[in-house]
Amino acid sequence: MYRLEPILRPMVWGSELWVLSGYPERLSTVADGPCKGLTINELIAKEKERLVGSKVYAEFGDEFPLLVKFLDVHDALSIQVHPSEEFAQERQGLHGKTEMWYVIRAEEGTELMAGFSREITPEEYVRRVSDGTITDVIAHHKVKAGDVFFIPTGRVHALLKGSYIAEIQQTSDSTYRIWDYNRPGLDGKLRPLHTELAKEALDYKVYPDYRTHYEASKDADVQLVSCKYFTTSVIDLQKPFCKDLSQIDSFLIVMCLEGSATLETQDCTEQIAADECILVPASADKIEFLPGSEGFKALLSHV
């Protein structure tokens, strides 16, 4: 198993802690052990299928396909949309960005934005960006700990102040900024908007529900999201739990949300606590979680 050095990014709205990143400009490095100092992509080049699995290695080679973060949100993020894989490749030669959010905690009354509240035309979108009323047609959702939102490409979205979020996404920074409240960035300059790109990338359809619904269960592996790019589940443990990994042919990311645990595979043992991440190689047949006295809650993700 591998522990990675976290990367802290101060943002105009708060901060991001990148706990596992294959993004070229901010590559995670191994924190300890014989491979200490290797970037995640160098580790893949060394371990290949043993680390990521045969199907993942065949598709992505030495590139790690997911990026996972903790977001500490003190002010509203810009309103954004992410392009599809096809759109981003065609326009910029980059990956698209499908992502999900898990709300770890939220202040009373905290909201986020996801999806349109009513159908608008591309022309109305452009007008509302120019006059600053785009937020009037975006759906607002009150949130609490445990809420999940899947953000497919094309969906307008923004986190608002007062939440602490786990985010899992494709390895990509393909983001089209729609509206940023006319505020300066950390450099004192207004951040650019990507009005025309967003106009083409947006999904203007209105959907009946933008939340991801699931039934929480103690001491069980509860699936939250399964899409082409990642599958994520949540575990909330008070007693030991064993997960069979023999059939997934993929690495497993363990992202600790609360508490602590000892993780055991056939080869090694690691400790994990809140805001930490452990990468379990595809060569592991199973993993056992031994929760600490305060319990253990984590997201588990694989491709």
Find the catalytic residue in 50, 91, 105, 177: 177
d(CA 30, CA 253): 14
Q: Is residue 148 within 8 Å of 103, Cβ to Cβ?
A: yes
Chain center to CA of 83:
15
The torsion of the CA quartet 204, 163, 12, 195, rounded to 10 degrees, works out to 0
Burial class (CB in 10 A: 0-12, 13-18, 19+), 260: middle
Active-site residue flag, 118: no
Phi, psi of 125 (to 5 degrees): -55, -50
| Strand residue runs (E) in the chain | 2-3, 7-11, 14-20, 66-73, 79-81, 99-106, 111-116, 138-142, 148-151, 157-159, 163-170, 176-179, 221-226, 231-237, 241-244, 252-264, 269-273, 277-280, 286-302
DSSP H helical segments within 53-147, as ranges?
54-60, 85-92, 122-131
Catalytic residues: 177
